[in-house]
């Protein structure tokens, strides 16, 4: 237990002992009222700030938990000590809970220590005592008031430290999220690059297949040309032989033609001689 808490409890116990005629429950209620009265809230202004914070972040203030829900949670006993505990009490979005916690934790910070007038609950019990107890009551109230403010200040500082710690944790978490987002973006860029490479590879494979088909056709054409070349070479080798045979045939033709001409001349001459020999016989 904190030292300030122990001191406040000791002071209250002293007051209970000195004012033995007062009911213990009444005094405890009075102390609680004093703590709640030590903080004065402008709820309308806080509500407006809450809505403005959500709007600045691009949110919709009409959706989700409203400001009064968070205010009611802060007015409970004990009040939330962190954004997470506030969110756990009212549920809803973490961001909205953080906005409300930041506003209300500062709003519930106790004001500067000051001497205040005795509240009604204290005066009601004080009036029942004799005048001889008035000075003692004033002294007791001063000690109680100081301890109440010290306790409230301790709780506010504890909450502030807790908020600061949580804010640091949130910033670290956000930094980690940024790193993860950058890693995801880098990975996505690599994936996009791989996809693009696959597309280019598919295009290149299609081109290669076309070139392969063209190459096969070219090889086939070359093979056919080589075959024709071989045939041409074979034909070229046979040309002299064919020329020789053709020349021989021409010589045979000329020889046969000459013999035919001789035979024709001979037959013509012989036919004329025979005709002359037969003419006298016919006359006879």
Strands (E), the chain: none
- Which pair of structure tokens corresponds to residue 114? 């000051």
| Residue 16 pLDDT > 60 | no
Q: Which of 147, 123, 148 is nearest to 133 (CA)?
A: 123
Range with the lowest mean pLDDT among 191-205, 233-247, 265-279? 265-279
CA–CA separation, 184 and 178 (whole Å): 10
CA–CA separation, 268 and 103 (whole Å): 150
Residue 187: predicted pLDDT: 92
Range with the lowest mean pLDDT among 4-8, 14-18, 48-52, 164-168? 4-8
What single DSSP character describes residue 19?
T
Residue 132 vs residue 2, higher pLDDT: 132
What single DSSP character describes residue 92?
S
Residue 14: predicted pLDDT: 55
pLDDT in tens, 136-145: 777 888 889 9
Please state the rounded mean pLDDT for residues 119-131: 74
For residues 46 and 67, is the Cβ–Cβ distance under 8 A? yes
Residue 174: predicted pLDDT: 81
- Which pair of structure tokens corresponds to residue 76? 């409970």
Q: Is 105 left (phi over 0), alpha (psi -120 to 50) or beta?
A: alpha
Spans of all domains in the chain:
3-183
């Amino acid at each position: 237990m904190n030292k300030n808490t122990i001191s406040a409890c000791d002071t209250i116990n002293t007051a209970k002992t000195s004012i033995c005629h007062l009911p213990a429950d009444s005094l405890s209620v009075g102390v609680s009222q004093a703590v709640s009265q030590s903080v004065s809230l402008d709820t309308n202004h806080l509500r407006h700030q809450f809505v403005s914070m959500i709007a600045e972040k691009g949110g919709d203030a009409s959706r989700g938990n409203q400001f009064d829900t968070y205010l009611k949670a802060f007015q409970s006993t004990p009040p939330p000590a962190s954004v997470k505990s506030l969110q756990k009490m009212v549920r809803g979005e973490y961001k909205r809970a953080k906005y409300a916690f930041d506003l209300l934790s500062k709003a519930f910070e106790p004001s500067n220590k000051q001497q205040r007038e005795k509240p009604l609950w204290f005066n009601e019990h004080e009036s029942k005592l004799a005048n001889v107890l008035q000075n003692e009551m004033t002294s007791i109230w001063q000690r109680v008031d100081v301890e109440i403010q010290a306790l409230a200040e301790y709780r506010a500082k504890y909450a502030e430290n807790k908020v600061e710690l949580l804010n640091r944790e949130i910033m670290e978490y956000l930094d980690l999220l940024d790193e993860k987002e950058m890693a995801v973006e880098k990975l996505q860029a690599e994936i996009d690059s791989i996809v693009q490479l696959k597309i280019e590879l598919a295009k290149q494979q299609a081109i290669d297949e076309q070139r392969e088909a063209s190459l096969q056709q070219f090889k086939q054409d070359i093979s056919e040309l080589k075959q024709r070349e071989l045939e041409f070479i074979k034909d070229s080798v046979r040309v002299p032989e064919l020329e020789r045979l053709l020349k021989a045939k021409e010589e045979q033709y000329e020889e046969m033609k000459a013999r035919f001409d001789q035979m024709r001349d001979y037959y013509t001459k012989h036919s004329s001689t025979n005709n002359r020999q037969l003419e006298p016989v016919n006359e006879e």
